[in-house]
Amino acid sequence: MTERDPELRNVAPGEPHDSLMSETLAYVIGLALALLLTGVSFWVASTSAIWGPGVAVGLVVLAIAQMGVHLVFFLHITTGPDNTNNVLALAFGVLIVFLVMIGTIWIMYHLAANMGPTPEMTNMMLQKG
Amino acid sequence: MEAGIVSPTEAPAIGLTHGSSEDTGLGNRGPQSKSIVVPYGFWLFVLSDMVLFSALFASYASLARATAGGPGSLQLFDRSTVAVETIALLLSSFMCGLAIVAAKRKNLLWTEVWLVVTAVLGLVFLFVELREFAHMISIGAGPQRSAFLSSFFTLVGCHGAHVTAGLMWIGTMMAQVWAKGFQPHIGRRLLCLSIFWHALDIIWVAIFTIVYLIGTLP
């Protein structure tokens, strides 16, 4: 057993490994999935087949899915025990990213709602004056 | 580290050890090798870079409607241009992966070939983006026009600056692989470069979705 070999305990992020499939095949599958998701994103944005207010949500979901594809197939982040450190760092990064983005959008939206005229109204007033 | 200070067979089995493993998690192994620590540290940097971008995304989302009577995203953004940029950067990311696979097999020719293709596709992306910026500025939609455009140029320009830095890094690595061969430290730098380049494509996914696609919804 090579269990005590420290090199096998952790894997560097971005390092291709062929435990599941050939290294090149992983990149090819990732490219195919990313192209598919990109194509669907552009289609969803331009079609009228989808209920209007749902389009933006659908696009965000597609984007998050594509980021997942990039992480798994290009950066080789897996759920394996040798990847725990990489996943934990990623989870913390994602937490901060969501806190910053959702927190800012939430607060700024309510500020705008509570603080008088919207930019559009200000523009109209400026144009009149 | 000197071997034999604590003989592995005599190491006490404390804590969450299992089976035949004598690893106590208490430092008997010593630190991880550089081939793990260096890319991991770079991964932490990349994640902090994504936090930086999240702040730029947040300010863009807050200011996207603050057009100050100037042109908005519907008038300015062209989806076909964005599609070209997206495909170029995605293929570039893929080629970078192929370069890493070739480098792992210590194949000098193909490493250099895939790195050249990566760089050319990155240049295509940068060229299209700069042409778009130049066009916007020429029609009076520069970063000083409105808060919306300031945040747009900051966000997308910051990504473009990262791509520019990445291109210079690719050139440097091509020269180093050529001159020094596949030494361990060159391999580590190549791996960090690939992490950087893939991360830039992940950020671009967020940009083309939030800025360009959602921004041009009717």
Shortest CA distance from B42: residue in chain A: A13
Residue B26: is its pLDDT beyond 70? Answer: no
pTM, rounded to two decimals: 0.84
Same domain, B14 and B39: no
Nearest CB partner across the interface for A15, out of B21, B33, B39:
B39
* Interface probe with A: pick from B28, B36, B107, most Cβ of A within 10 Å: B36
Instruction: Give the residues of chain A that fall short of pLDDT 50.
Output: 1-4, 6-7, 129
Domain-located, residue A65: yes
Q: Report the pLDDT value the prediction gives residue A3, as an integer from 0 to 100.
A: 46
Q: Report the pLDDT value the prediction gives residue A99, as an integer from 0 to 100.
A: 96
pLDDT in tens, B142-163: 999 999 999 999 999 999 999 9
Same domain, B3 and B72: no
Q: What is the mean pLDDT of residues B184-203?
A: 96
ipTM rounded to 2 decimals: 0.83
CB pairs < 8 Å spanning A and B: 161
Using a CB-CB cut-off of 8 Å, the residues of chain A touching B57 are 101
Q: Report the pLDDT value the prediction gives residue B7, as an integer from 0 to 100.
A: 42
Structural domains counted in chain A: 1
Supply the range of the domain harboring residue B144.
Answer: 34-216
Shortest CA distance from A69: residue in chain B: B202
Using a CB-CB cut-off of 8 Å, the residues of chain B touching A71 are 202
Q: What is the mean pLDDT of residues B193-215?
A: 96
DSSP A21-75: S-HHHHHHHHHHHHHHHHHHHHHHHH-SSS-HHHHHHHHHHHHHHHHHHIIIIIS
Separation in Å, CA of B22 to nearest CA in chain A: 8
Shortest CA distance from A11: residue in chain B: B36
Same domain, B19 and B93: no
Query: Is A65 part of the contact surface with chain B (CB cutoff 8 Å)?
Result: no
Domain-located, residue A39: yes
Residue B20: is its pLDDT beyond 80? Answer: no
As a whole number of angstroms, the distance between CA B60 and CA B146 comes to: 12
CATH number (domain holding residue B51): 1.20.120.80
As a whole number of angstroms, the distance between CA B1 and CA B180 comes to: 28
SS (H, E, C) B73-140: HHHHCCHHHHHHHHHHHHHHHHHHHHHHHHHHCCCHHHHHHHHHHHHHHHHHHHHHHHHHHHHHHHCC
Query: Is A3 part of the contact surface with chain B (CB cutoff 8 Å)?
Result: yes
Q: Report the pLDDT value the prediction gives residue A75, as an integer from 0 to 100.
A: 93
Shortest CA distance from A16: residue in chain B: B101
CB contact under 8 A, B214 and A104: no
Residue B24: is its pLDDT beyond 90? Answer: no
- How many Cα atoms sit within 13 Å of A87 on the Cβ side? 12
Query: Is A29 part of the contact surface with chain B (CB cutoff 8 Å)?
Result: no
CB contact under 8 A, A12 and B19: no
Residue B10: is its pLDDT beyond 60? Answer: no
Supply the range of the domain harboring residue A57.
Answer: 18-75
Same domain, B108 and B25: no
Q: Report the pLDDT value the prediction gives residue B6, as an integer from 0 to 100.
A: 40
Kindly state the percentage of chain A with pLDDT values over 70. Answer: 78
CB contact under 8 A, B58 and A16: no
Q: What is the mean pLDDT of residues B69-84?
A: 92
Same domain, B26 and B40: no
DSSP state of B65: T
Shortest CA distance from A9: residue in chain B: B32
Residue B31: is its pLDDT beyond 90? Answer: no
Q: What is the mean pLDDT of residues B207-214?
A: 94
Same domain, B115 and B181: yes
Same domain, B11 and B59: no
Query: Is A113 part of the contact surface with chain B (CB cutoff 8 Å)?
Result: no
Query: For residues B24 and A91, which has the higher predicted lDDT (pLDDT)?
Result: A91
Same domain, B152 and B195: yes
Domain-located, residue A54: yes
Structural domains counted in chain B: 2
Q: Report the pLDDT value the prediction gives residue B218, as an integer from 0 to 100.
A: 79
Same domain, B94 and B9: no
User: Token pair for residue A112?
Assistant: 């705008």
Separation in Å, CA of A55 to nearest CA in chain B: 8
DSSP state of B32: P
Q: What is the mean pLDDT of residues B8-36?
A: 57
Domain-located, residue A110: no
CB contact under 8 A, A13 and B32: no
Same domain, B12 and B96: no
Domain-located, residue A9: no
Residue B118: is its pLDDT beyond 80? Answer: yes
Domain-located, residue A70: yes
Same domain, B45 and B25: no
Same domain, B125 and B198: yes
